[in-house]
Amino acid sequence: MSRMTPFSSPLLLGFDAMEKTLERLAKSGDSYPPYNIERLSGADGMAERLRITLAVAGFAECDLDVTTEENQLIVRGRQNDDTEREFLHRGIAARQFQRCFVLADGMRVIAAELKNGLLSIDLDRPEAERLVRKINISVKD
């Protein structure tokens, strides 16, 4: 018996990669660092924007890396363990993280800002042109 997915319809063509991405997202369970995603209304005819805010307290700008690879936004954080300090109690661990967000086609990162332990990443999607193309039909005898 085959497994039914939302992309099983014969009318949905070329969505194999999207289905694999959704399966991968369903399996990822890491919740660090916590984050918010908010919708920012467009002003003066500008396109709607999104803002991702991650709580990265203790990370400096040089500890963080924000990249886009294909259709993914990847945020990485790496802290070096300070071996010169002697802790009597260590409740704040130096840790690493990688948080991935899948971006829809046309989404682009506008800016990233670190302020008060919060990393804000702004994204937008410019309005796509409506393209209608006539396909010629050839007749073969």
| CA nearest to 121, candidates 63, 64, 57 | 64
Architecture of domain 31-81+93-125: Sandwich (2.60)
H/E run at residue 26: helix 16-27
Query: For the segment 74-111, what is each residue's pLDDT rounded down to a tens digit?
Result: 999 998 777 788 888 888 877 899 999 988 888 899 99
| The predicted structure's pLDDT at residue 46 | 67
Query: For the segment 39-85, what is each residue's pLDDT rounded down to a tens digit?
Result: 987 666 667 789 999 999 989 999 999 999 988 899 999 987 777 88
Residues 6+ apart with CB under 8 A from 96: 76, 77, 78, 79
| CA nearest to 20, candidates 34, 6, 32, 10 | 6
Which residue type occupies 59? F
DSSP string, 94-107: ---EEEEEEPPTT-
Residue 119 has pLDDT above 90, yes or no: yes
Residue 2 has pLDDT above 70, yes or no: no
- pTM for the model: 0.72
